[in-house]
Amino acid sequence: MPMHLPDASLSHVSPYYNPFHQQDYLAAYLDHYTRSPSSLIPYSIPPLVDLSQHPNLRFPAMESLSREELERFQKLSNEYEPDVQGPLVSAKRSTHAISVEYANADPTLAAKTSALVVTHPFSRIMKGDGNCGWRAVAFGYFESLFTLRDPLRVQQETTRIKSLSRLLDQVGQQEHLYEIFVEATEGVMMQILNSIQKRVADEAFLVEAFNDEYNSNAIITHFRLLTSAWMKLNPIRYQSFLAAPLEQYCASRIETVKTEIDEVGLQALVDGVISSSGVAVEILYLDRSEGNAVTPHMLSANPVNIATIRLLYRPGHYDLLYRADPSMSIAPIVNYQYGMTSQYIPWEQAALSFDANPHLMAIPNLTADPFFLGSAPMTPAAVPAPYLPSTRNVFYPSTQPPQSQPRPQSQSPTEPQTQPETQPQTQGQGQPQPQPPPSTMTSPSISPTQTHPLTPLPSKCSDGPQIRLNPLVMKPNLSHSLPVTTPFKNSPYNQAHFLNHDFEPIHWEPSESRK
């Protein structure tokens, strides 16, 4: 051997001036104090420079510090160990522990964490080693599959995840390198399948599998590589959110072994790996924003989800949260918006941006007219009517006398067959034109003759929706014209409400172009 080469991990004194590494140390040290404990330095960088031997080192930011301070910093930096204790994935525990942590913190955090104990009584803590977000999603995904206890689904998922290897091939990953990661994922899938078939009571085996660091790393690496490949194959969706070119971002943030996941990476992980399983991912932000509850954000765009992974996000760190009863999807919260109430009328009113009589609004062709009939701009006379409005005008007064009650216009005349009950009336009048069927709702106040002698109502039949104006049926129109909104569902389980436990904010998919 020509020269003695000290092992990098053991060397503590270097005769060489080494500014680059010096900065690394400082960064590591500062990180420790300025960021949250979970924003971690990936490696303990070997101490290559001993400051005590280099009193003349010049660092602009450090010049004001005394040599003692520098030495102390160096010592702290050298001895820096990320604050990572505990298992990679903890057992499920009471969320109360989290609220205790914040009991004396900012009142907002205290309030939010106490509310969290009620809404999400259980949590699982991830080790903050730089992989917590990846690990939380991966663990949550496998746990969801186990909790569903559907062997067929596990097999399908195994096949699906393995088939994603084609993405890796497409971006040029070498099979001989990635196969061990795929095998690790497959191994956990097999464990889940066996455990379901043996009716294993709890997910302890999964926690154990994830606490085997080598195995855990392999699974996380697999998910990282799939995410990276997905991003590279769908660059349009992600590039605009990235400061760096996508390839560079993937190399430095996604494919690395211990880089914390960020929002873009998390979205890509959900899009590329998790979403197709039907498992949703929801982030609950614990921050000091206004409000008494954590801010939820649904990442999955699936209309129906088989399960939801709930991530508690505290700056730089992710943990898992569990609701009290998965089957309980109605929050014990009074919902003043539409869609969450069992009362029929109020939501109609609330759904409309203008104040309308819900009884009237329930009737087709009358959409907004009771209020606007007198106003010229609103009369749809300018809209060409496909049939003669005058016919209708004659028609209506003539039909009313035989009936004991005023009958509102309801269905489109072009669809007369849907309501066979109208037949007797038609016969009685001998009108060639099909008669509108009776409405399901009767309202004495909206007979066209009573409201106005003008002709707008029939013509509205042709251009307005031929259906009751309610948010549910407005859905298709909305989704085509306004990409930023997703239709609301008239359901007590409406996820669109911000207080709903499964709240899913409506977000625009960059991949969906405006139609």
Q: Where are the alpha helices (DSSP H) in 120-174?
A: 132-148, 151-163, 165-170
- Taking CB under 8 A as the rule, does residue 208 contact other proteins? yes
33: three-class secondary structure by DSSP? helix
- Taking CB under 8 A as the rule, does residue 426 contact other proteins? no
- Taking CB under 8 A as the rule, does residue 3 contact other proteins? yes
- Taking CB under 8 A as the rule, does residue 61 contact other proteins? no
Answer yes or no: are the C-beta atoms of 320 and 309 closer than 8 Å: yes
Q: Which of 79, 83, 101, 212 binds other proteins (CB under 8 A)?
A: 212
Considering CB under 8 A, how many residues would be counted as binding other proteins?
Answer: 44
- Taking CB under 8 A as the rule, does residue 7 contact other proteins? yes
- Taking CB under 8 A as the rule, does residue 59 contact other proteins? no
- Cα gap 120→430, rounded to integer Å: 65
- Cα gap 162→321, rounded to integer Å: 28
- Taking CB under 8 A as the rule, does residue 324 contact other proteins? no
∠ Cα 444 448 453 (to 5°): 140
Q: Is the Cβ of residue 18 or residue 302 nearer to other proteins in the bound state?
A: 18
- Cα gap 118→53, rounded to integer Å: 57
- Cα gap 422→293, rounded to integer Å: 53
- Taking CB under 8 A as the rule, does residue 256 contact other proteins? yes
- Taking CB under 8 A as the rule, does residue 190 contact other proteins? no
HEC states along 475-506? Answer: HHHHHHHCCCCCCCCCCCCCCCCCCCCCCCCC
Q: Which of 54, 96, 162, 258 binds other proteins (CB under 8 A)?
A: 258
- Taking CB under 8 A as the rule, does residue 251 contact other proteins? yes
All residues at 6 or more sequence positions from 196 whose CB lies less than 8 Å from its CB, including other chains = 146, 149, 150, 151, 154
Q: Is the Cβ of residue 7 or residue 290 nearer to other proteins in the bound state?
A: 7
- Taking CB under 8 A as the rule, does residue 225 contact other proteins? yes
Site for other proteins in 122-141 (CB under 8 A): none
- CB 248, min distance to other proteins, A: 10
- Taking CB under 8 A as the rule, does residue 214 contact other proteins? yes
Six token digits for residue 197:
């078939």
Site for other proteins in 142-181 (CB under 8 A): 173-174, 176-178, 180-181
- CB 138, min distance to other proteins, A: 15
- CB 314, min distance to other proteins, A: 23
Lay out the site mask for other proteins across 29-48 (x = CB under 8 A, - = otherwise): ------------xxx-x--x
Give Cα separations from 55 to 3, 17, 267, 488 (angstroms). 27, 11, 47, 67
- Taking CB under 8 A as the rule, does residue 8 contact other proteins? yes
- Taking CB under 8 A as the rule, does residue 6 contact other proteins? yes
- Taking CB under 8 A as the rule, does residue 9 contact other proteins? yes
- Cα gap 88→134, rounded to integer Å: 11
- Among the residue ranges 8-16, 408-416, 439-447, 461-469, the one whose residues contact other proteins (CB under 8 A): 8-16
- Cα gap 407→396, rounded to integer Å: 9
Count other C-beta atoms under 10 Å from residue 435's C-beta: 23
Q: Which of 255, 324, 429, 483 binds other proteins (CB under 8 A)?
A: 255
Q: List the strands of the sheet with 93-94, edge to edge.
A: 93-94, 122-124, 317-322, 307-314, 279-285, 295-298
> Which residues sit at the interface with other proteins, rule CB under 8 A?
1-3, 5-9, 11, 14, 16-21, 41-43, 45, 48, 173-174, 176-178, 180-181, 208, 212-215, 217-218, 221, 225, 251-252, 255-259
